[in-house]
Amino acid sequence: MNDTKTTTGISRRDCLKVSGQAAAAVALTGAAFPRAFAGEDNTIRLALVGCGGRGTGAAVDALSTTSGPTQLVAMADVFEDRLTGSYNSIKANKEKQLDVPEDRRFIGFDAYKEAIDCLRPGDVVILTTPPAFRWVHFGYAIDKGVNVFMEKPTTVDGPSTRKMLDLAEKATAKNLKVGVGLMCRHCDARGELFKRIEAGEIGDLVLLRAYRVVGPTGSAFAPPKPEGQNELEYQIRNFHAFLWASGGAFSDFLIHNIDECCWMKDAWPVEAKGIGGRHYRGDFVDQNFDNYEVEYTFADGAKLFLGGRCMVGCWQEFASYAHGTKGSAVISTSSHSPARPRIYKGQNFTKEDLVWAYPQPEANPYRLEWEHLIDAIRNDRPYNEAKRGAEASLVTSMGRMAAHTGKIVRYDDMLACEHEFAPQVAELTLGGEAPLKADEAGKYPVPMPGLKTKTEF
């Protein structure tokens, strides 16, 4: 590869050399760094692993932080076209902070290692591949002493959740800073509402409602595999369609509503009952239901009712609500931002009953989550969202499994569940076999509630 120096003064050979020296230092010192950011120049370097839309957005958000200089120095993806598109998009927004020459653009299933190897201990890797790969990439970043931002969900089943919880403890032991892309937790407006609910302004919280009932989203509805395309490549390009890759549309899209409601309750539910089905599917071959209804129950008996639907021509709503013994609240109004939280003295959301509303405009939570992470790195504050991210992912999987099996699924049962969707995920290779095989008609196994009750498909 070309070993020409770049404007940052590092080359591919340099970054591997520095990474190797740093890894040796980590082994000798136990990775206890007196300051958590890298380099005397105060620049935090970034590597992007997973160059889809959300990864591209996360990189731009990271480069937009205000507490000190940041620079993107490496990128990795399985697909060259995705990486190139992401590179061009970031360049159009943050060209001065982009220093990713061709010899630091890596392609393949092991490309994450090469990108992370270009960082110094205390820099940040952005993990935004399909969730199935999260624990593999997170583990490597921990070994290298690199701080992490990873997208949600961070797990898709019981075994990957157990792995992630173990890795969260290892990251804490190394004083690494870890952010998880549940950005609603960083929303100032929602934070103020949480304080008011905690202070008893709507009484005891007994009911939560959440809805993401919209049209088809992402790659949740997957058409048949094109002739001649590798099956693994096809599944990764349509990762919302397959449970092994993403936890399906339920996990990837409904987790935000679930998480913000559990935040307001300040607890995780202990069990879930679920209903769902497939309608008007045409020739789509994905594993998703297109409608879900889940009743979550908390330890004190309070309920969270969650509705999810991906259908055209129906009423649409993307919002969450809280109901207490003295009043009610809007947690989020439409999509993720702005939330526009409000409190009402009754159970009807009428102007006459409005008692509090968060003043507008609101700060963007996608930017705030990065401000908070980078601030923690620069000031060496404890910061690790990996455990909470895994718990939110597990609760989401609990509701999904309840709908897919037709059984009541409890938190502890979900955590102990042994069905691992893709145990071979760390060994996948370009052009290799996919974890899930289509039948002769090109169809994939789908959930069958009441018939398949031990596993989801």
Q: Between 245 and 25, where is the model more confident?
A: 245
All residues at 6 or more sequence positions from 167 whose CB lies less than 8 Å from its CB, including other chains? 135, 138, 139, 142, 386
Contact between residue 296 and residue 311 where contact means Cβ atoms under 8 Å apart: no
Considering only CA atoms, which of 336, 343, 385 is closest in space to residue 362? 336
pLDDT of 30? 37
Q: Please give the sequence-ordered ranges of beta strands (E in DSSP) within 252-373, or none if there are none.
A: 271-277, 291-297, 303-310, 317-324, 328-332, 342-344, 354-357
Model's pTM, two decimal places?
Answer: 0.92
**What pLDDT digit, counting tens, does each position of 329-342 carry?**
999 998 899 999 99
Average pLDDT, the chain: 92
pLDDT of 33? 40
CA atoms of 252 and 131, how far apart (whole Å): 9
pLDDT of 27? 36
Taking each helix axis from N to C end, the angle separating 80-94 and 53-63, rounded to the nearest 10 degrees, works out to: 30
pLDDT of 216? 85
For residue 407, pLDDT beyond 60: yes
Q: Quick one: what percent of the chain has pLDDT higher than 90?
A: 89
pLDDT of 249? 95
For residue 22, pLDDT beyond 60: no
The amino acid sitting at 143 is D
**What pLDDT digit, counting tens, does each position of 367-402 carry?**
999 999 999 999 999 999 999 999 999 999 999 999
75 phi/psi in degrees, rounded to 5:
-140, 150
Architecture of domain 187-363+393-427: 2-Layer Sandwich (3.30)
For residue 184, pLDDT beyond 60: yes
pLDDT of 13? 40
Question: How many C-beta neighbours within 10 Å does residue 358 have?
Answer: 20
For residue 11, pLDDT beyond 70: no
Please compute the mean of the pLDDT values over residues 208-215 and round it to a whole number: 96
The amino acid sitting at 27 is A
CA atoms of 210 and 257, how far apart (whole Å): 6
pLDDT of 451? 97
pLDDT of 282? 85
Please compute the mean of the pLDDT values over residues 181-186 and round it to a whole number: 98
**What pLDDT digit, counting tens, does each position of 241-282 carry?**
999 999 999 999 999 999 999 999 999 999 999 999 998 878
Q: Between 325 and 17, where is the model more confident?
A: 325
* First-to-last C-alpha distance (Å) of the chain: 45
Considering only CA atoms, which of 206, 211, 287 is closest in space to residue 256? 211
Is there a shared CATH topology between the 12-184+369-384 domain and the 187-363+393-427 domain?
no
Class of domain 12-184+369-384: alpha beta
**What pLDDT digit, counting tens, does each position of 146-169 carry?**
999 999 999 999 999 999 999 999
Ranges of each domain in the chain = 12-184+369-384, 187-363+393-427
CA atoms of 301 and 321, how far apart (whole Å): 17
**What pLDDT digit, counting tens, does each position of 55-89 carry?**
999 999 999 999 999 999 999 999 999 999 999 99
